[in-house]
Amino acid sequence: MSKVKALAAMLAIWAGAAAPAHADHIDLVKKDKVEGKCNEAGGTYWGTSASGSYGCLNPDGSGIVCGGAKPGCDRWPATRAQTKAHKLTRAEARKTYGSHAAH
């Protein structure tokens, strides 16, 4: 299993476990549409799994999972506020992680 597929499987499991109780069940959304919206939002899309599910986990914690054991899709809203991460400078990285961090 490739690293991408393994990550997608882990995200799918995590997303299913982390989805809040107020997730909406909606009619089936085509894979192409889910992938396109996911890419626009900067999310992580996973294609059809062995069980027939596919979906997206967005950076803000929102997402959608379609297919699998039941028809249709489940989607949920953002689970946390989205903030822009501070990118460390080389000097900050060295100070925080030691001199080997910038190599």
| Ranges of the chain with pLDDT below 50 | 19-20, 101-103
How high is the pLDDT of residue 20? 47
Q: Which of 49, 63, 65, 60 is nearest to 6 (CA)?
A: 49
SS3 (DSSP) at 61: coil
pLDDT at 19: 46
The Cα 22–Cα 67 span in angstroms is 19
Q: Using CA of residue 41, residue 43, residue 49, residue 54, what is the dihedral sign?
A: negative
- Residue 99 has what pLDDT? 67
Mean pLDDT of the chain: 78
Give residue 74's pLDDT.
94
Question: Per-residue pLDDT tens for 72-90?
Answer: 999 999 876 656 677 778 8
